[in-house]
Each structure stands twice: as structure tokens, then as C-alpha cells.
Amino acid sequence: MKTLTITRPDDWHLHVRNGAVLKTVLPHTARQFARAIIMPNLKPPVTTVAQALAYRDEILQAVPAGMDFTPLMTLYLTGSTTVEEIKRAAQSKYVHAVKLYPAGATTNSDSGVADIDSIYPLLAAMEKHDLPLLVHGEVTDETCDIFDRERIFIESHLSAIHNNFPALRIVVEHLTTAEAVQFVQSAEATIAATITPQHLLFNRNALLAGGLRPHHYCLPILKREHHRLALVAAATSGNPKFFLGTDSAPHQTSLKENACGCAGCFSAHAALELYAEAFDRADALDKLEGFASFYGADFYRLPRNTGMVTLEKSTWQVPETYGDNGVAITPLKAGETLSWKLV
């Protein structure tokens, strides 16, 4: 049987929520990944170091006994975040980055930033204290087509941020377009990016052709095939600017299969297997370890993991749903057969 053994990976973009959903989803991530960058878009959002520490404790309590998993916390940037809080975050050994959500761009982003220029003093503080900025790169302008929102955000905001704060480390999260790949490739080494499994595996037909498939709806939205091909080329290129971030974003099935369905794909149940499938199809399994286990740690200036994990090429069927006691979450590729399995 064909197997692949790599250094234990990390997930550099993850939503685990809280309460009962946290208890359902976290074991899936802990089984595969040593660490994960935890997104702060809870209700209410995690805006202070004190809140991040409390959330970290809740996550640690949800790690199953005997599993070793480290949550890496982030703060949610708002119009009222202070320079003092940024400094406190930079000094905390548990807070690793600050997340910028343009207000209204996605799930629980209402408290995000409405006027990007107004946060320049905070970006200056992050640059000074060397605290990375994580960006949900989409404009929210109602007149801007949803398929153009990432490209326009890069043109109208991200380039200016990078030019004004060249030493600020920025992760452009969940890339979805060829233009974003191009931006990251040609920017300075302070700019890196995460890529999700769904954006490597699907184009927008998977969402819209032959029926509307709400479990393929996430933000930024799936794009055309030529964008997917650009993402696969970037992820499998061995360029350390591109690394693994699932953006696994669980929602109750009833909130996805809904007249106004929530954005987010739950992929934590099979994250590494889904990436292995994408890399295998591109005949680039030899590039998976760098993408999954090295480049993110290097960018965040954290030590690489020392343990190993093994994947084997064998088929298994994804369950239709995960959860109990009132939690029901439909995973990505529910009921379908995957070709790689974590041993």
C-alpha cells in the first residue's frame, strides 16, 4: 500500500467556535494537527488579551485526554481596539496575531473594521511590536460583485497597507484568485498566504451547477477553474509563502440548509486527507510536507513540530453528519469516498 509520512502539520486558520460545537469539532483537529491559529469571530468577538486567554482555557478543556494540541490565539480588530491592547497582545506568549475582518464581510464580522484607513495607527503598532496581521481580504461594497471582492480588496487596500508598513508580517487568508496568488508571489517576504482544501478541490460549479449546494458555500466564495488551477500551482510550488490553513468553519446543518445559509465549510474531520487528495491529483505529494508542516511555522517564527503522521492511500467514506446532543454538522464531502486516510 502507498503511504506518506510527514512531520506533524499545523492548521494556520481554524474556527472551532465555543460551547457544544467546540467539543464536537476540536477532537478532529487535535487528531491531525499539533497547533492551530484560532479565529476570534465568536459572538461576542475575542477583542482583548484577557478574552483570548479565557477562550484558550475553554479550548484546552475540549482537547480529548491523551491528545496533545496547542491553540494559538488571535485578537479580533475593531474600530475601538487600542494601541495598548496591541502591545499587550504582542507581549503575550499566547496571542500570535490580530485578525482584520472588514465589517460585514463574513460570519460574525459586524464588529469588524468599517474604515480601513482609520486603523493605520494600530497597524503601525503591530509593525513596531512585530505582531502579524491576518486579513480577510474582501471589500464589502454592495455594488461590487461577490466574485470580484477579493481582487478589489487587494487593489484598493492590501497593496497600500503593504507599502505603508513594509515590515508588518501579513497573512492573506484563504486565497481564492489568481490575482491574489500573483500579489503574494510578487510582494516582499513579509507577505504570506493560507489556502483551504475546498479552494484547491472545487471551482464555483461545485456550488452552483446542477443544484445549489450550501455545504460548498464559504467566503471568499469559490471561483472559476482558472483560479483553482492557480491556487493548486501555488500550493504545490514549494514556495514558502503559501501554507496550510483549512478555514474549517462549522455551522449547524440547519443553518447551512436554510433560505439564507451561513458561509463556511466544515473540513476539520478530514483536513489532511483532503489536502493529500489535492496534492496527489497534481502529482505533487512530495510538496505536501513543506506546505502543511514547515512554512507556516517558519513564518510565525515558531519551532517546526518534531512528531510524524502517516497517511495511507486507502478509501473511506465520510459520514453524513458529526455531533450529538443537539449538535449536527455536515462535513465537506459528506457521504463521499476519500482516497487518503490518516493512520
* Interface residues toward ligand DOR, by CB under 6 A: 15, 41, 106-107, 136, 218-219, 249, 263-264
247 is catalytic: yes
Instruction: Identify which of residues 39 and 125 has a Cβ nearer to Zn ion in the complex.
Output: 39
Rounded distance between C-alpha atoms, residue 29 and residue 205, angstroms: 28
Q: Tell me the closest approach of the beta carbon of residue 328 to ligand DOR, in angstroms.
A: 16
151, 190 Cβ separation under 8 angstroms: no
Size of the site for Zn ion (CB under 5 A): 1
Closest separation between CB of residue 144 and ligand DOR, Å? 16
Cβ neighbors of 191 (< 8 A, separation 6 or more) are 162, 169, 170, 172, 183, 184, 241
Find all residues with CB under 8 Å of 22, minimum gap 6, and list them: 16, 58, 59, 62
Q: How many CB atoms lie within 10 A of CB 303?
A: 7
Which one of ligand DOR, Zn ion, none is in contact with 35 (Cβ closer than 5 to 8 A by kind)?
none
Catalytic residue among 10, 117, 247, 280: 247
Question: Please, what is the minimum distance in Å from the beta carbon of residue 217 to ligand DOR?
Answer: 7
Q: Whose Cβ is closer to ligand DOR: residue 41's or residue 78's? A: 41
CB of 134 to ligand DOR, least distance (A): 11
CA distances from residue 119 to 22, 40, 82, 287 in whole angstroms, order as listed: 31, 18, 10, 37
> Binding to Zn ion by residue 138, rule CB under 5 A?
no
Q: Which is nearer to ligand DOR, 101 or 294 (CB)?
A: 101
Between 41 and 293, whose beta carbon lies closer to ligand DOR?
41
107 binds, among Zn ion, ligand DOR, none (CB under 5 to 8 A by kind): ligand DOR
Q: By CB under 5 A, what part of segment 239-258 binds Zn ion? A: 247
Closest separation in Å from C-beta 124 to Zn ion: 25
Residue showing the smallest CB distance to Zn ion in the complex: 247
Active site residues: 247
Binding residues for Zn ion (CB under 5 A): 247
